[in-house]
Amino acid sequence: MELNSKVPSGPIEKKWEKHRFDMKLVNPSNKRKYKVIVVGTGLAGGAAAASLGQLGYEVEAFCYQDSARRAHSIAAQGGINAAKNYQNDGDSVFRLFYDTVKGGDFRSREANVYRLAEVSNAIIDQCVALGVPFAREYSGYLANRSFGGAQVSRTFYARGQTGQQLLLGAYAALSREVALGSVKMFPRHEMLELVVIDGHAKGIVVRDMITGKISSHVGDTVILATGGYGNVFYLSTNAKGCNATAIWRAHRKGAFFANPCYTQIHPTCIPVAGEHQSKLTLMSESLRNDGRVWVPKKAGDQRKPWEIPEDERDYYLERKYPSYGNLAPRDISSRAAKQVCDEGRGVGPGGRGVYLDFSESIGRLGKGVIEARYGNLFEMYERITGEDPWKWPMRIYPAMHYTMGGLWVDYNLMSNLDGLHVLGEANFSDHGANRLGASALMQGLADGYFVIPYTIADYLTKVKPGSRPGVDHPAFKEAEREVEGRTKKLLSIGGTKTVDEFHKELGQVMWEYVGMGRNEAGLKTALQKIPQIRERFWKEVRVPGAGADLNQELEKAGRVADFLELGELLAYDALMRDESCGAHFREEHQTPDGEALRNDEKYAYVAAWEYKGEGKSPELHKEPLEFENVHLAQRSYK
Amino acid sequence: MKLTLKIWRQESPTDRGRLVSYDMPDAAEDMSFLELLDILNQRLIKKGERPVAFDHDCREGICGSCGFMISGVAHGPQKLTTTCQLFMRQFKDGDTIVAEPFRSRAFPVIKDLVVDRSALDKIVQAGGFISARTGSGPDGNAIPISKKNADLSMDAAACIGCGACVAACPNGSAMLFTAAKISHLGLLPQGQPERKQRALRMVTKMQELGFGACSNHGECEAVCPKGISIDFIARLNRDYMVASALETMEPVKKV
Ligand SMILES: Cc1cc2nc3c(=O)[nH]c(=O)nc-3n(C[C@H](O)[C@H](O)[C@H](O)COP(=O)(O)OP(=O)(O)OC[C@H]3O[C@@H](n4cnc5c(N)ncnc54)[C@H](O)[C@@H]3O)c2cc1C
Ligand code: SF4
Ligand code: FES
């Protein structure tokens, strides 16, 4: 199948403007005749549902938490980028675009990234209007901080709780629409199937997580904004409930999954404490502005950090990347940490950690300044580790964090399945092979506030108002039966192992063979092991209880079953992409100093996978990538 | 360390419920309370028993999903800490810990430690917003906001909507939660046009939903994991008084 990205013609600065004019508008009196299903109410889905409700569409929105305010966007700490250039330090829309394409290691679609940079400023304005209490300078104007992968200061923030405040803004806008009746909100509802009729996405099947009731919801179009799939690694910085079920079910129904192997490991997380570890906690990357990363020069050095003199410390990021230093991009910093730990120079229990040391900045700026900047992060670190970071330098280690891959979408954010739109972390669109800090919040809100309201109108002008089917359409009944059958099956296996045991086993395979460093042999091992785990899962899992009430084990079981399929596709994509790029590091392909070595001749494309049925190999569709505005170059942060 | 957990088990909203005791011989200091429950649940499943239901998601103290009464205190003994961020080093070998759901008229129990807190969403829907249509805002720097007010607004906005304040209040009042939202928006210039209506709508809704009145016990502030100050309640009362004197409540309107 020919993948048409539908990128408008013309110079990059004019594409979006031209496209907005070329797209058709829905007659205002017709808007309320269209129903839009929005799955997910994080930044992307929340912003979309609120904006579409305001425009007059009938919206139904779903989330698995008990309230829309709890989507995992809430946990983003560091900030959101915009090209305001309020600092007068040389930023511009083009520079934000350039940095993002380069940061993504030339594996993203230029036109999408440009549009993202272009609407970034309107996002800040909208959030301020909604009452987001961004940090301010004494002048009363908005403050900025720096983030990895950029030499300008363009990140807007609200203490260490930027995601929370942005989400509460979108949630407030959404709540207003709920009050007005334009959006109907369904919390504690999990989407378990997508319904496609004659090639058009027309609705979903959900499970009411309190009563267990399975029901169908019909729409003229469906939006998935269900977040990332990082939990395929079991341990990650994602919330426990984050899952791939919505996008995976859509994939099984025909939506292409793009670049599943582009998964980002975050360099600054609290190291694993033990077997019982249930998730990993991110320490905001902003800490790298003032913290210096180091390990002892000598392997196996057991001395306390303050007993190690300066000249026996290796500030390896500053040494290897003099111009970006501790602010080197995430993939590079993560691999550098793994490398020094592999050399036996790691610190803390198990030797899987590096120091993040603030003593130099405390000396230079005073404790007060550091406390004002990062006080809450220091507290969080102490609460979790029991160590006082004012005395001991923090210990950090990389952890699975963000997924650049996701469902394939065109410029209009529509997947290859007609009528299925995908927003936020759930799509693959803007970050290429590596996402820069503070760009995911930007993308989620760009998609939800400023892109989908336009492109969905253009789509709906092609759908006859009032033509959508009813819930009694055979396709819905069939999908409900499938969901019920799957639920029954999970409950009836009655094996001896828990869902978590399988999830952990999968996670270990993913981390070991499909994590920070990948190679052919390892990936082949993973491709052998994952189907075996999956097979055992369907024979040996024990899911207690029944389907007709709140059953958290059943919820987990469905999600893990899908991860067990997605994990295989992820490893397969990683194997087939025989190059290194961004966060996808194939050990076979590196420069003499250990940097990712791309192969643009063979791999400058988006790998969009088509599902071919259980036990069958997926089929690859390529979307070639062209770089007309940012010239393909070896990324360098030296 | 060896601990005994006494956990409230309740099959359904109509079940009467009871405390059940579980021995935890292998708790460790660097486990979170929820990780201890994970271990218990793994064990219960293997034994063919029903695991304990509890709400949680981010497990880093920000989503507000988690929360129950731990030996009588909402979110447990450590100040400024959500249940998911409570680590076992806060307890001693041999301790018995009682876990019960948040109890309040407006929060019916669903199962075990899970309660229905949707009433908090309804308070926000009543008026906890600024009606700024997407695309309508001026440049972010067009409205300077003093750092002092922006910071104070952020202090209030830090509320995670966990409902511990309601559970701790002898009257089951949601005043701290509501005051936090009213103060967050009321301290900003953008929040002024709807300030009076916001106070009228949110307070009225709160009363309708079965939350009690505030009689200044201060228990809410003591358990709040985000340190939301009770001073914000004074701010809410002021806004509400002024609003009642000057305006009558109107429904939320489209434009
Ligand atoms: C700890 C952490 C810190 C971060 N910090 C930053 C930062 O500083 N800056 C930055 O730019 N980015 C940051 N990110 C990344 C960023 O937060 C996310 O990529 C972004 O918020 C994702 O938003 P979203 O709307 O796509 O998804 P989410 O916010 O994850 O929302 C997903 C929604 O989908 C719903 N859902 C999921 N599955 C189903 C289903 N099957 N049925 C029904 N509903 C479902 C959920 O209930 C939820 O409402 C961070 C991420 C993490 C984990
Ligand atoms: S005010 Fe505090 S205790 Fe109450 S809901 Fe907000 S964060 Fe929770
Ligand atoms: S689980 Fe999110 S605050 Fe505790």
Q: What is the predicted ipTM? A: 0.98
Dihedral angle at the C-alpha atoms of A13, A15, A17, A19, nearest 10 degrees? 180
Q: Which ligand is nearest to the CA of B181?
A: 2
Distances (CA, A) of A238 to A168, B9, B198: 19, 29, 34
Tell me, yes or no, whether A475 and A616 share the same domain.
yes
Half-sphere exposure of B163 (CA within 13 A, CB side): 28
d(CA A586, CA A514): 10
Number of H helices and E strands in chain A, helices first, is 18, 19
Query: Max Cα separation, chain A?
Result: 75
CA of B216 to nearest chain A CA: how many angstroms apart?
A: 27
Cross-chain CB nearest to B131 (options A176, A187, A384): A176
Query: B255 or A488: whose pLDDT is higher?
Result: A488
Contact B140 A124 (CB under 8 A): yes
Tell me: do A350 and A462 sit in the same domain.
no
In the Cβ-directed half-sphere of A314, how many Cα atoms lie within 13 Å? 19
**Which residues 293-352 of chain A have a CB within 8 Å of chain B?**
none
Domain limit, last residue, from A399, A415, A439: A399
Determine which residue's CA is closest to atom 1 belonging to ligand 2.
B177
DSSP secondary structure code for residue A136 in this structure: B
Number of domains comprising chain A: 2
**Is A637 contained in some domain?**
no
Question: Which has the closest alpha carbon to A10: A21, A18, A2?
Answer: A18
Atom of ligand 3 nearest to the CA of B225: 3
Among B134, B148, B181, B201, pick the best mutation site for testing chain A contact (most A Cβ within 10 A). B134
Q: What band does B27 get if pLDDT is binned at 50, 70 and 90?
A: very high
Q: Are residues A451 and A324 in the same domain?
A: no
List C-alpha distances in Å: A105 to A154, A384, A431, B55.
20, 34, 9, 39
Q: Could you give the angle at which helices B175-186 and B195-208 cross, rounded to 10 degrees? A: 170
CATH topology of domain B117-246: Fumarate Reductase Iron-sulfur Protein; Chain B, domain 2 (1.10.1060)
At residue A594, the pLDDT reads 77
| A268 Cβ closer than 6 Å to some ligand 1 atom | no
A271 and A369 in a single domain? The answer is yes
* pLDDT attached to residue A147: 80
Residue A77 in contact with ligand 1 by CB distance below 6 A: yes
Closest protein CA for atom 6 of ligand 2: B159
Largest distance between two CA atoms of chain B: 64
Q: Which residue of A has its CA nearest to B162?
A: A70
Q: What's the confidence (pLDDT) of residue B174? A: 98
Give Cα A296 distance to the centre of its chain. 33
- CA A504 to centroid of ligand 3, rounded, Å: 21
Domain span at residue A336 reads 267-399
Compute, in angstroms, the gap from residue B128 CA to the centroid of ligand 2.
Answer: 15
Atom 4 of ligand 2: nearest residue by CA position: B165
Atom of ligand 1 nearest to the CA of A237: 53
User: Cβ of A67 and B120 within 8 Å?
Assistant: yes
Question: A85-99: buried (b, 16+ CB within 10 Å) or exposed (e) per residue?
Answer: bbeeeebebbbbbbb
Residue B80, classed as helix, strand or coil, is coil
- For residues A432 and A347, state if they share a domain: no
Q: Mean pLDDT per segment of 10 residues, for chain A of length 638 residues?
A: 92 98 96 98 98 98 98 95 97 97 96 98 98 97 87 93 97 98 98 98 98 98 98 98 98 98 96 94 88 96 95 96 87 91 93 95 94 87 94 95 98 98 97 95 98 98 96 98 98 97 98 96 98 98 95 98 98 98 95 88 98 96 96 79
Q: How far apart are CA A347 and CA A299, in angstroms?
A: 10
**Cα B155–chain centre separation:** 15
Residues contacting B103, CB < 8 A, separation 6+: B69, B109, B167
Of B36, B63, B252, the CB nearest to A180: B252
Question: In the annotation, is A330 catalytic?
Answer: yes
**Pocket around ligand 2: residues whose beta carbon is below 6 Å from it?**
B 159-165, 176-177, 180, 224-226, 228
Domain boundary among A373, A399, A425: A399
Q: How far is B174 from chain A (nearest CA, A)?
A: 17
Residue A507 parent element (H or E): helix A499-514
The whole-number pLDDT of residue B114 equals: 98
User: What is the distance between the alpha carbons of residues B38 and A393, in angstroms, rounded to a whole number?
Assistant: 30
- A362 with A456, same domain: the answer is no
Find, among B180, B128, B114, B206, the residue nearest to A66 by Cα.
B114
> A212 in a domain, yes or no?
yes
Contact B200, B243 (CB under 8 A): yes
Tokens of A239: 């919330």
Under an 8 A CB cutoff, do B134 and A449 touch?
yes
Count of CB atoms within 10 A of residue A79's CB?
30
Mean pLDDT of chain B: 97
C-alpha triplet A498, A500, A505: angle, nearest 5°: 105
Does the CA dihedral A18-A20-A21-A22 come out positive or negative?
Answer: positive
Within 8 A of B139 by CB-CB distance, chain A residues are 125
Ligand 3 mean position to B115 CA, how many Å?
A: 14
Residue A24: burial class (beta carbons within 10 Å; 0-12, 13-18, 19+): exposed
pLDDT the model gives residue A225: 98
Q: Is A63 in the pocket of ligand 1 (CB under 6 A)?
A: yes
Across the A/B interface, how many CB contacts are shorter than 8 Å? 224
In terms of Cβ atoms closer than 10 Å to its own Cβ (0-12, 13-18, 19+), residue B145 is buried
Given A399, A426, A445, the domain boundary residue is A399
**Ligand 3 atom nearest residue B58's Cα:** 2
B209: pLDDT strictly greater than 80: yes
Q: Residue B253 in 3-state DSSP?
A: coil
The catalytic residue among A330, A373, A395, A635 is A330
Mean pLDDT of the B48-60 span:
97
d(CA A12, CA A256): 26
Examine residue A126 and state whether it is found in any structural domain, yes or no. Answer: yes
Is residue A527 in a domain? yes
State the CATH number of the domain containing residue A510.
Answer: 3.50.50.60
Let me know whether A53 and A123 are in one domain.
yes
Both A91 and A232 in one domain: the answer is yes
Among the partner-chain residues B55, B129, B133, the one whose CB lies closest to the CB of A175 is: B129
If asked whether residues A492 and A364 sit together in one domain, one would say: no
Q: Are A540 and A429 within one domain?
A: yes
Q: Which of residues 237-266 of A touch B (CB under 8 A)?
A: 239-241
Report residue B236: phi and psi, to 5°. Answer: -60, -45
d(C-alpha A219, C-alpha A222), whole Å: 6
* β-bridge partners, A313: A296
Q: CATH homologous superfamily of domain B3-111?
A: Beta-grasp domain (3.10.20.30)
What pLDDT, on a 0 to 100 scale, did the predictor assign at position A79?
Answer: 94
Question: Residue A132 falls within a domain, yes or no?
Answer: yes
Mean pLDDT throughout B103-107?
Answer: 96
Domain CATH number, residue A335: 3.90.700.10
Residues A336 and A354 in one domain: yes
Domains of chain B, residue spans? 3-111, 117-246
Contacts of A492 (CB under 8 A, 6+ apart): none
Distance between alpha carbon A263 and the CA centroid of its chain, in Å? 9
The confidence score (pLDDT) of residue A277 equals 95
**A544·B51 Cβ contact <8 A:** yes
**Under a CB-based contact definition with an 8 Å cutoff, are residues A442 and A113 in contact?**
no
Is residue A83 located within the same domain as residue A177?
Answer: yes
Q: Which atom of ligand 1 is nearest the CA belonging to A438? A: 11
Facing A180 at nearest CB: one of B140, B184, B254: B254
